[in-house]
């Protein structure tokens, strides 16, 4: 069995792929079947969330690329940008994993949330698509162009700014 133990950022080659839905891309210990049919096991650092395009390396040098699987999700659009921001606020207030696109939101299907969104005037469609939610403000994995500047700023050790 192949043991995938390390996430890497660059490789000159890809030996295989592994397609997983979001809920399985959050697991650090997992038995899987690669696209080639080979069985593998993930032994990753706890807390890692795999994203489509990520690369994993096995103990013997095999490189496997992660593919975000198509899964049932809701795509949400709104009459105005402000309405979409309100929908994002209400979903965030419920700690719902949320993918944010240019003029749309995507979330896992849940009829209670669908009804809330419809009540807010959103247009909600059921689709099969890759789900790549935001990592969260403290979860890492989401990068901005000025991240290098943030790393130079002093830490506040948990104290509020004032």
In a domain, 140, yes or no: no
Query: How many Å is the maximal CA-CA distance in the chain?
Result: 56
In a domain, 147, yes or no: no
Do 53 and 10 fall within a single domain? Answer: yes
Range(s) of the domain holding residue 104: 70-130
- We report the CATH number of the domain holding residue 39 as 2.60.260.20
Question: Which residues of the chain carry a pLDDT beneath 50?
Answer: 140-162
Q: Which pTM does this prediction carry?
A: 0.78
Say which DSSP state 61 is in. Answer: S
Q: What is the pLDDT of residue 139?
A: 54
Q: What is the pLDDT of residue 152?
A: 38
Number of domains observed in the structure of the chain:
2
């Amino acid at each position: 069995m192949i043991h995938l133990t390390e996430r890497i950022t660059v490789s000159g080659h890809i030996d295989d792929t592994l397609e997983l839905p979001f809920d399985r891309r959050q697991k650090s210990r997992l038995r899987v079947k690669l696209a080639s049919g080979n069985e593998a096991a993930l032994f990753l650092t706890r807390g890692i969330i795999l994203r489509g395009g990520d690369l994993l390396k096995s103990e013997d040098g095999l490189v496997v690329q992660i593919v975000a699987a198509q899964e049932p999700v809701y795509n949400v659009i709104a009459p105005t940008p402000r309405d979409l921001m309100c929908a994002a606020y209400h979903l965030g207030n419920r700690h719902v994993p949320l993918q944010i696109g240019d003029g749309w939101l995507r979330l896992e299907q849940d009829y209670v949330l669908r009804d809330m969104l419809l009540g807010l005037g959103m247009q909600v469609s059921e689709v099969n698509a890759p789900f790549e939610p935001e990592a969260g403000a403290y979860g890492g994995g989401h990068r901005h162009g000025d991240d290098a500047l943030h790393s130079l700023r002093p830490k506040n050790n948990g104290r509020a700014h004032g």
